[in-house]
Amino acid sequence: MQKQKSNFGLYDASFEHDSCGVGFVALINGHAEHSIISDGITILKNLSHRGAVGGDQKTGDGAGLLSAVP
């Protein structure tokens, strides 16, 4: 029997879906650094098993990197 996940802080179990993967990277000091981009790309590479790559290994599902333009 699975244990029911309870709401804690900003987490709401009703938003949980199978096969979804989200990565979030932020610098709280407010400085723009290239490490944020490289960390985001690493997250994308690590999410390929969650469906970010199509069956032909050449197309994707729209997974990508979103950033602000400084």
Structure tokens at 41: 């790309």
Phi, psi of 20, deg, nearest 5: -100, 140
User: Would you list the domain boundaries of the chain?
Assistant: 13-50
pLDDT value of position 38: 92
Q: Compute the Cα dihedral for 5, 41, 45, 50 and give only its sign.
A: positive
Q: Nearest-CA neighbor of 20 among 53, 55, 52?
A: 52
Per-residue pLDDT for the chain (70 aa), expressed as one digit of tens each?
Answer: 566 656 567 777 777 666 566 778 888 998 888 998 898 888 888 776 666 566 677 776 667 788 777 6
60: β partners: 53
Active-site residue list: 20
